[in-house]
């Protein structure tokens, strides 16, 4: 369909890589996997009205459609290389495509990621991106290796994106200070920065890793299930941004941190003897990190309040078809 649109996408996302033998323009791309590396692949779809609000800026969509995929590669400890883009558009909208490709390229460029092909069709607005990356053999981080006694850690801050979604739905704020705080939270929703450097730094150090797309409880729950263990978290330790704390207070910010999705931080486990190395590797990668609990026997995630009692979780994480 619409070759001018595809040409614009190709121009705006151009990224030279030796391992792309043939990129956009033929019936398929031809790619050279580097010798001695394993290929790691992931795909994620964003549907208007389900994953983003109608009227979201095209550049924000381009950024985020790639970001959520790079976050999956980060969670596996993979280095990104290539992407495919399937765009379904209600009409051949050149300004939309330009904005989308600009946002996509803004994130692709620092990761040296090449867009090597895709598909462009008509229909309700829907965006699928597939990404490909590399890890040394056997070194991919998975959800399955957590051991009883491991420390549970998380990068960055939690809960901002869900608070950003609330902020978008509220009427504009007159107070300039509050407006700045809200804007910070909204950008955490629209422009998540995938933790690619942190993911590769954790190779050989983390026993399990997941990226937080559904919410900390849900995603750490995936580690527990895959690893046949439980986890205990300290509510007071959950890293929360100053903006989240100021706008939502202590109790609500804890609930948002536990249940808020669309976060794209990494949650991972490390055996105590490797903790110092993991902290050093993340410091080297320039990534903030916080210890939030421990892996236990049993199953499921429990949260302890500051007074030692078990915390009741009042919000549910994101679930499709729920
Ligand atoms: P075909 O009909 O053979 O599948 P298309 O006309 O759909 O080919 O696509 C032509 C070329 O443009 C292919 O190389 C394809 O990968 C690329 N392409 C199409 N849509 C996109 C897109 N949204 N993003 C990137 N590349 C695209
Ligand atoms: Mg063809």
Q: How far apart are CA 80 and CA 95, in angstroms?
A: 28
The CATH 3.30.1330.10 domain(s) of the chain lie at: 2-135
86 pLDDT above the threshold of 50: yes
SS3 84: strand
Give per-residue pLDDT as tens, 119-130: 999 999 999 999
Sheet containing 151-155, strands listed edge to edge, beginning at the edge strand earlier in sequence: 208-211, 266-270, 151-155, 289-296, 230-234, 300-304
Contacts of 312 (CB under 8 A, 6+ apart): none
Q: How far apart are CA 112 and CA 79, in angstroms?
A: 10
Q: List, as residue ranges, the binding site for ATP.
A: 118-119, 143, 213
Centre of ligand 2 from the C-alpha of residue 20, in Å: 18
Residue 322 confidence class, pLDDT cut points 50, 70, 90: very low
* Residue among 117, 125, 126 whose CB has most ligand 1 atoms within 8 A, to mutate: 117
* Residue among 4, 25, 82, 118 whose CB has most ligand 1 atoms within 8 A, to mutate: 118
Tell whether domain 151-304 is in CATH 3.90.650.10. yes
pLDDT at 47: 97
For residue 5, give the ligand nearest its CA.
1
221 pLDDT above the threshold of 60: yes
Q: How far apart are CA 13 and CA 96, in angstroms?
A: 15
Q: What does DSSP say about strands 114-122 and 79-89: parallel, antiparallel, or unpaired? A: parallel
Mean pLDDT, range 123-146, rounded to an integer: 98
SS3 14: coil
Please give all residues whose beta carbon lies within 6 A of any atom in ligand 1, as ranges.
Answer: 6, 9, 24-27, 85, 87, 115, 117-120
Centre of ligand 1 from the C-alpha of residue 45, in Å: 18
Going by CA atoms, what residue is nearest to atom 20 of ligand 1?
A: 119
Q: How far apart are CA 216 and CA 143, in angstroms?
A: 14
* Residue among 89, 119, 127, 130 whose CB has most ligand 1 atoms within 8 A, to mutate: 119
Give per-residue pLDDT as tens, 29-71: 999 999 999 999 999 999 999 999 999 999 999 999 999 999 9
Centre of ligand 2 from the C-alpha of residue 139, in Å: 36
Going by CA atoms, what residue is nearest to atom 13 of ligand 1?
A: 25
pLDDT at 172: 81
Task: Work out the percent of the chain whose per-residue pLDDT is above 70.
Answer: 97
Centre of ligand 2 from the C-alpha of residue 125, in Å: 23
State the alpha helices, DSSP H only, in the chain: 3-12, 58-75, 94-108, 160-169, 176-190, 196-201, 216-227, 242-259, 275-284
The CATH 3.90.650.10 domain(s) of the chain lie at: 151-304
Give per-residue pLDDT as tens, 17-32: 999 999 999 999 999 9
Contacts of 171 (CB under 8 A, 6+ apart): none
Give per-residue pLDDT as tens, 294-314: 999 999 999 999 899 999 887
263 pLDDT above the threshold of 70: yes
DSSP assignment of 144-168 equals S---TT-EEEEES-SSHHHHHHHHH
Going by CA atoms, what residue is nearest to atom 1 of ligand 1?
A: 27
Query: Which of 186, 135, 134, 132 is closest to 163 using CA atoms?
Result: 186
Mean pLDDT, range 93-110, rounded to an integer: 97
321 pLDDT above the threshold of 70: no
Q: How far apart are CA 275 and CA 64, in angstroms?
A: 31
Q: How far apart are CA 277 and CA 194, in angstroms?
A: 22
For residue 1, give the ligand nearest its CA.
1
Query: Which of 137, 26, 133 is closest to 81 using CA atoms?
Result: 133
Q: What is the CATH number of domain 2-135?
A: 3.30.1330.10
Going by CA atoms, what residue is nearest to atom 27 of ligand 1?
A: 118
pLDDT at 313: 81
Q: What is the 3-state secondary structure of 218-251?
A: HHHHHHHHHHCCEEEEEHHHCCCCHHHHHHHHHH
Residue 317 confidence class, pLDDT cut points 50, 70, 90: low
Centre of ligand 2 from the C-alpha of residue 286, in Å: 43
174 pLDDT above the threshold of 90: no
pLDDT at 2: 64
Centre of ligand 2 from the C-alpha of residue 27, in Å: 4
pLDDT at 72: 98
């Amino acid at each position: 369909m619409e070759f001018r649109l595809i040409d614009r996408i190709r121009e705006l996302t151009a990224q030279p890589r030796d391992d792309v033998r043939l990129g956009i323009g033929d019936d398929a791309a031809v790619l050279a996997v580097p010798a001695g590396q394993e290929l790691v692949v992931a795909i994620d779809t964003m549907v208007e009205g389900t994953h983003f609000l109608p009227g979201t800026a095209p550049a924000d969509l381009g950024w985020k459609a790639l970001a959520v995929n790079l976050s999956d590669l980060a969670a596996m400890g993979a280095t990104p290389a290539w992407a495919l883009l399937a765009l379904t558009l209600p009409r051949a909208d050149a300004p939309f495509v330009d904005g989308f490709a600009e946002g996509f390229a803004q994130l692709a460029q620092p990761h040296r990621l090449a867009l090597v092909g895709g598909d462009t069709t008509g229909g309700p607005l829907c965006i699928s991106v597939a990404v490909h990356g590399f890890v040394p053999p056997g070194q991919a981080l998975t959800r399955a290796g957590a051991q009883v006694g491991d420390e549970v850690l998380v990068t960055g801050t939690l809960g901002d994106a869900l608070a950003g979604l609330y902020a978008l739905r509220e009427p504009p704020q007159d107070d300039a200070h509050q407006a700045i705080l809200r804007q910070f939270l909204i950008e955490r929703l629209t422009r998540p920065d995938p933790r690619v450097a942190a993911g590769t730094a954790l190779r050989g150090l983390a026993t399990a890793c997941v990226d937080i797309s559904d919410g900390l409880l849900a995603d750490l729950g995936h580690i527990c299930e895959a690893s046949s263990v439980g986890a205990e978290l300290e509510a007071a330790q959950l890293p929360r941004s100053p903006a989240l704390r100021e706008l939502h207070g202590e109790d609500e910010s804890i609930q948002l941190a536990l249940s808020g999705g669309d976060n794209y931080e990494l949650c991972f486990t490390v055996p105590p003897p490797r903790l110092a190395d993991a902290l050093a590797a993340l410091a080297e990668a320039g990534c903030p990190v916080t210890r939030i609990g421990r892996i236990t026997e049993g199953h499921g995630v429990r949260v302890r309040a500051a007074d030692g009692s078990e915390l009741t979780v009042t919000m549910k994480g994101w679930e499709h078809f729920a």
